[in-house]
Amino acid sequence: MAPTLYDKKPEPGDLIEIFRGNYQHWALYVGDGFVVHLAPPSEGPGARANSMMSVLSDKAKVKKEEIWDVVGHDQWCVNNQLDKKYQVRPIHEILREAQAYVDQEMPYCVFRGNCEHFVTDLRYGKAESRQVRQAVETVGMAAMLGLGVLAVAGIAVAIFGGGSKKKNEEEEEYK
């Protein structure tokens, strides 16, 4: 395995977070310089904006590849932060299950079944994607703010604008 810029060398069963610009790709380190990951057709090292096309994919393939072939020139780190929330499954089970998935085509959904869901399910038995949850929360907050602006605008119109229908009818009678 090539030297890394990071202090923590991955151990079998570790989750690898790869920073691809606007999103992160995830893989599971299986040892000897290899990772297993769920890869839609557009995913690859340096994919960046092109891999955003994975949103349109409904199938992906589980691949076992050398970590450096997956990471490319992107930054990456070991990220087992969910260890604080979930119990880690026995490493031999994680690795056995990961190996069993290799070369299989699987359903893919960026919101319910992406690469992060895949590796967290392997490590913890719980499919979770924090980046999807954060995106949903961000969109939800923006929607709430948008509705708040509309509500304020509606109140302003009710208070300051247009007047009542009765008042408008009375003005019409005097014309």
Kindly list the catalytic residues: 25, 37, 115
How many whole angstroms separate alpha carbon 33 and alpha carbon 54? Answer: 26
Residue 162 in 3-state DSSP? coil
Report the chain's terminal Cα–Cα distance, integer Å: 88
H or E segment and range at residue 60? strand 59-66
Nearest to 2 by CA among 48, 40, 33: 33
CB 40 within 8 Å of CB 57: yes
For 140, half-sphere exposure in the C-beta direction (CA atoms, 13 angstrom radius) is 6
Residue 65 in 3-state DSSP? strand
